[in-house]
């Protein structure tokens, strides 16, 4: 034993909790079973708390939607188009939840959940619909619908422009942003786009079988069927549904669908959308 000690070959048994290994950069990793066990318990407790908070958040959001109403109606006033330098008093009077329109001695009043005046922005509109998108990730069906006459700004509100996005591209961004922050669940996304034009259905994401730039009298044959399921929901049989793993792919497919829409000139807009478009995420 003394000889081995002098030659530096003494074998010493160390407790497992004091084992260590030297890293190439000079660091040290200590193996502590007790510390690992404690960390695992803390992680389990944090996950349990996260599930509890998510449940409370869903309950609070559900109560908020119930208070505001599961169906909410907004009204957005398009800025006046002036054809001369003469300033004309607007026939529209706007309040927070009321709008009055005067025409030829007649005044019509309407009450809605929120009125956006002529100076309202895309941000203002999206701020009102943003909370319900969280409900979509919680498993609820959510719909944002624009309704109005030709030239009233429906397409601008929903699609916007490249430098001033509308409700649909903002909603897609918001969904992916929420999904990235939520570590308690795993999400998979897909997108489909449908156009209702001249009484027919068109799949805007179907493989192209004709040139991108086509006349408005292009092929409008309906190859899709509208079916009602046993649960009462409505589905479009044969509609292309594309998996989108990330926001970049989602935007690419959405832009492709937009380019495929039917457009034509009107007295208000040279490239007015001549159809109803449904985007489903």
Instruction: Return binding residues.
Output: 148-155
Rounded to whole angstroms, the Cα distance separating 219 from 211 reads 11
Write down the residue that tokens 């084992």 correspond to. 19
Q: Is the four-CA dihedral 266, 269, 270, 273 of positive or negative sign? A: negative
Rounded to whole angstroms, the Cα distance separating 5 from 12 reads 11
For residue 271, give the DSSP letter: T
Are 125 and 167 within 8 A, CB to CB?
yes
Rounded to whole angstroms, the Cα distance separating 130 from 116 reads 16
Dihedral of the CA atoms 124, 126, 127, 128 (nearest 10)? 100
Contacts of range 242-249, beta carbons closer than 8 Å, 24 or more positions apart: 242/190, 242/191, 242/192, 242/205, 243/188, 243/189, 243/190, 244/189, 244/190, 244/191, 245/189, 246/176, 247/172, 247/173, 247/176
For residue 15, give the DSSP letter: -
CA angle 114, 120, 125 (to 5 degrees): 55
Q: Which residues are annotated as a binding site for ATP?
A: 148-155
């Amino acid at each position: 034993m003394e000889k081995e000690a002098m030659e530096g070959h003494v074998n010493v048994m160390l407790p497992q909790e004091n084992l260590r290994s030297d890293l190439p950069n000079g660091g040290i990793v200590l193996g502590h079973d007790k510390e690992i066990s404690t960390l695992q318990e803390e992680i389990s407790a944090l996950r349990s708390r996260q599930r509890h908070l998510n449940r409370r958040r869903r309950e609070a959001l559900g109560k908020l939607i119930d208070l505001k109403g599961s169906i909410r109606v907004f009204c957005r006033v398009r800025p006046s188009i002036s054809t001369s330098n003469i300033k004309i008093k607007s026939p529209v009077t706007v309040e927070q939840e009321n709008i009055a329109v005067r025409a030829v001695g007649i005044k019509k009043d309407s009450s809605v959940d929120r009125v956006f005046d002529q100076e309202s922005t895309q941000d203002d509109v999206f701020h009102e619909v943003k909370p319900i998108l969280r409900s979509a990730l919680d498993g609820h069906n959510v719909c944002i619908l624009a309704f109005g006459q030709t030239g009233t700004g429906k397409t601008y509100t929903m699609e916007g422009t490249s430098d001033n996005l509308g409700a649909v591209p903002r909603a897609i961004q918001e969904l992916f942003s929420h999904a990235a922050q939520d570590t308690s669940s795993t999400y998979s996304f897909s997108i489909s786009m449908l156009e209702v034009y001249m009484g027919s259905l068109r799949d805007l994401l179907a493989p192209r079988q004709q040139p991108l730039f086509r006349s408005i009298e292009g092929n409008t044959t309906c190859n899709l069927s509208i079916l009602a399921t046993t649960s009462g929901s409505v589905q479009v049989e044969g509609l292309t549904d594309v998996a989108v793993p990330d926001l970049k792919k989602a935007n690419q497919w959405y832009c492709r669908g937009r380019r495929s829409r039917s457009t034509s000139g009107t007295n208000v807009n040279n490239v007015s959308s001549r159809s109803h478009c449904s985007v489903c995420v």
